[in-house]
């Protein structure tokens, strides 16, 4: 039996992704421990896992809800989401990376103490910045990329966070120039911190490195990018990674198509946007519309024929859904493909723009201007997706394939190999671990 420590970012997406894999490993007899940002205390314990807690910042003045730091951060910067992605680089992406790096600095000693106590056989992290304690001293570690795989850069892949199309490179150079200007100094500063704390150096313009043991990314092949060269063997694509939902859910009565609206735990905090979407969908009385209302649920008004709740067990809902209106978070996109649901994507920030573009250009949904679309455009997009029998057939076939080979099982098997000392794939550099 191995001891496997998971360290997801302090947000629901990475935490749920890791929980699905952790459940498989625990069922296979391994000891699974979750290292969590302290506001998530008890959330994984309730699912039967051990927990260890870290603080990513000084203590708040009052007790926080899970992920409250990021909810507050999003609230205070939400006006930036109306700006082009080129402007979001300096006004949102860079401040977010800075906040994450500050958290890594604050938590490093805590992480070292936890890992020294646990002596894990492998540490699995799902983060977008490096935490040097995880890789220092030659410790076996696995990186999960649960964001859009444009994060793993390639000359044929559009710039990360840009939402730019693959077949029009006209704006790529200017975007990369701005990316270097705003992210370059942050990367160099974080690299110095990581090396000073005994971790390997970071690649240029990166905030996190590549594991020499195993790197997992989650994206169905129908959405994935063409690359100038295949990713090395220590990269493994999971296609989807859907946890078994513990909470039951019963769909609303009726025989109309079921449409699910969710902007994620952060996007749903924009009450004005959420209410506008609900009001836009109100005329579609022949549909069974279900809304994930989020943390500001008490401020939202639902028509009698639309149902919703503060929290919904998403994968249980998607198993019944016929179409999804989403912010384009990577978990929701891959889970929608897993259950064969076409998407209307209303992206807000980070890799959501990349997912929105990829869903549209690969023919699995419609990308709309989140703040600039008219209600009729949303209604028309939903109707068109529900009315395309060929798309429904195509998605059903993809869903069957993804469900036949669960990514959670594939990830667990690969992590087990690392825990036993096996490097997954051949390394091209001299930093290859010896086993």
- In Å, what is the CA distance from 206 to each residue of 97, 210, 346? 10, 10, 27
Pairing type for strands 288-292 and 343-345 reads: unpaired
Instruction: For residues 376 and 361, give the distance between their C-alpha atoms in angstroms, rounded to a whole number.
Output: 22
Per-residue pLDDT, 68: 64
Q: What is the pLDDT of residues 197-241, one digit of tens each?
A: 999 999 999 999 999 999 999 999 999 999 999 999 999 999 999
Beta-strand relationship, 258-262 and 288-292:
parallel
Q: What is the pLDDT of residues 119-161, one digit of tens each?
A: 999 999 999 999 999 998 889 999 999 999 999 999 999 999 9
pLDDT score of 69: 63
> Please, how many CA atoms are within 13 Å of residue 221, restricted to the half-sphere of its CB?
7
Whole-number pLDDT of residue 85: 97
Q: What are phi and psi of 33, to 5 degrees?
A: -125, 130
Taking residues 382-410, report their average pLDDT: 96
With a CB cutoff of 8 Å and minimum separation 6, the contacts of 171 are: 86, 162, 164
* Predicted pLDDT at 102: 97
Q: Reply yes or no on whether the pLDDT at 113 is more than 50.
A: yes
Distance CA(18)–CA(4), nearest Å, equals: 11
At 265 the pLDDT is: 79
Average pLDDT, the chain: 92
73-87 per-position pLDDT tens digit: 666 777 889 999 999
The CA distance from 288 to 274, in Å, is 17
Q: What percent of the chain has pLDDT over 90?
A: 82
Homologous superfamily of the 3-242+406-419 domain (CATH): Glycogen Phosphorylase B; (3.40.50.2000)
What pLDDT is stored for residue 115 in this prediction? 96
Mean pLDDT over 286-292 rounds to: 96
Predicted pLDDT at 73: 65
Q: How confident is the model at residue 262 (pLDDT cuts 50, 70, 90)?
A: very high
The sign of the dihedral angle between the CA atoms of 215, 220, 224, 230 is: positive
When pLDDT is averaged across residues 320-337 and rounded to a whole number, the result is 97
Please give the model's pTM, rounded to 2 decimal places. 0.93
- Beta-bridge partners for 96: none
Question: Does the structure show a pLDDT above 50 at 48?
Answer: yes
The pLDDT, as a whole number, for residue 350 is 95
DSSP state for residue 178 in the 8-state scheme: H
The H or E element spanning position 258 is: strand 258-262
Overall average pLDDT of the 348-357 stretch: 97
Enter the tokens of residue 27: 């069922």
| Range name among 32-46, 240-254, 304-318, 364-378 with the lowest pLDDT average | 240-254
Whether 434 has a pLDDT exceeding 70, the answer reads: no
Q: Is residue 246 scored above 90 in pLDDT?
A: no
Say how far apart CA 192 and CA 187 lie, in whole Å.
Answer: 9
Q: Shortest CA distance to 239 belongs to which of 214, 225, 218, 222?
A: 218
Indicate if the pLDDT at residue 428 is higher than 50.
Answer: no
Could you count the other beta carbons within 10 Å of the beta carbon of residue 48?
Answer: 12
Residue 427: predicted pLDDT: 38
Among left, alpha and beta (phi > 0; psi -120 to 50; other), residue 67 is: left
Token couple for 155? 């000359």
Judge whether 3-242+406-419 and 258-404 match in fold: yes
Ranking 84-88, 297-301, 423-427 by mean pLDDT, the lowest is 423-427
CATH code, 258-404? 3.40.50.2000
387 burial (CB, 10 Å; 0-12 / 13-18 / 19+) is exposed
> Per-residue DSSP letters for 80-128?
GGGS-HHHHIIIIIHHHHHHHHHHHHHHHHHHHHHHHHH--SEEEEE-S
Least confident of 33-37, 67-71, 170-174, 286-290: 67-71
Q: Hey, what are 194's tokens?
A: 């990581």
Residue in the block written with tokens 């005329």: 283
Residue 90 pLDDT exceeds 60: yes
* Beta bridge partners of residue 292, listed in sequence order: 309
- The domain segmentation of the chain, as residue ranges, is 3-242+406-419, 258-404
């Amino acid at each position: 039996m191995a001891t496997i420590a998971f360290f997801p970012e302090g947000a629901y997406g990475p935490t749920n992704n890791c929980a699905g894999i952790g459940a498989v490993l625990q069922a296979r007899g391994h000891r699974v421990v979750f290292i969590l940002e302290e506001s998530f205390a008890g959330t994984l314990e309730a699912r039967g896992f051990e927990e260890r807690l870290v603080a990513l910042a000084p203590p708040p003045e009052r007790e926080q809800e899970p992920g409250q730091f990021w909810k507050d951060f999003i609230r205070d910067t939400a006006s930036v989401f109306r700006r082009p992605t080129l402007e979001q680089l300096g006004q949102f992406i860079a401040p977010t990376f800075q906040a994450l790096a500050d958290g890594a600095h604050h938590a490093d000693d805590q992480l070292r103490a936890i890992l020294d106590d646990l002596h894990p056989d492998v540490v699995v992290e799902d983060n977008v910045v490096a935490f040097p304690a995880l890789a220092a001293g030659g410790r076996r570690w696995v990186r999960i990329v649960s964001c859009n795989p444009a994060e793993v850069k390639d000359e044929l892949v559009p710039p990360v966070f840009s939402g730019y199309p693959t077949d029009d490179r006209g704006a790529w150079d200017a975007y990369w120039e701005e990316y270097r200007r705003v992210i370059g100094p942050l990367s160099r500063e974080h690299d110095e911190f990581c090396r000073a704390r005994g971790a390997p150096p970071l690649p240029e313009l990166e905030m996190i490195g590549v594991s020499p043991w195993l790197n997992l990314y989650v994206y169905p092949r129908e959405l994935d990018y063409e690359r100038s060269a295949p990713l090395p063997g220590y990269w493994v694509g999971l296609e989807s990674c859907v946890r078994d939902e513990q909470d039951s859910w019963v769909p609303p009565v009726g025989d109309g198509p079921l449409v699910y609206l969710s902007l994620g735990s952060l996007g749903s905090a924009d009450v004005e946007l959420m209410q506008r979407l609900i009001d836009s969908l109100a005329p579609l009385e022949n549909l069974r519309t279900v809304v994930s209302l989020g943390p500001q649920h008490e401020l939202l008004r639902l028509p009698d024929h639309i149902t919703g709740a503060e929290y919904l067990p998403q994968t249980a809902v998607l198993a019944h859904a016929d179409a999804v209106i989403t912010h384009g978070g990577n978990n929701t996109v891959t889970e929608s493909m897993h259950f064969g649901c076409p998407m209307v994507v209303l992206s807000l920030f980070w890799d959501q723009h990349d997912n929105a573009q990829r869903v549209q250009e690969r023919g699995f949904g419609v990308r709309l201007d989140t703040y600039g679309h008219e209600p009729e455009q949303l209604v028309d997009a939903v109707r068109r997706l529900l009315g395309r029998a060929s798309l429904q057939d195509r998605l059903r076939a993809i869903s069957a394939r993804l469900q036949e080979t669960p990514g959670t099982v594939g990830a667990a098997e690969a992590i087990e190999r690392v825990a036993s000392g096996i490097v997954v794939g051949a390394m091209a550099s001299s930093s290859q671990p010896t086993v």
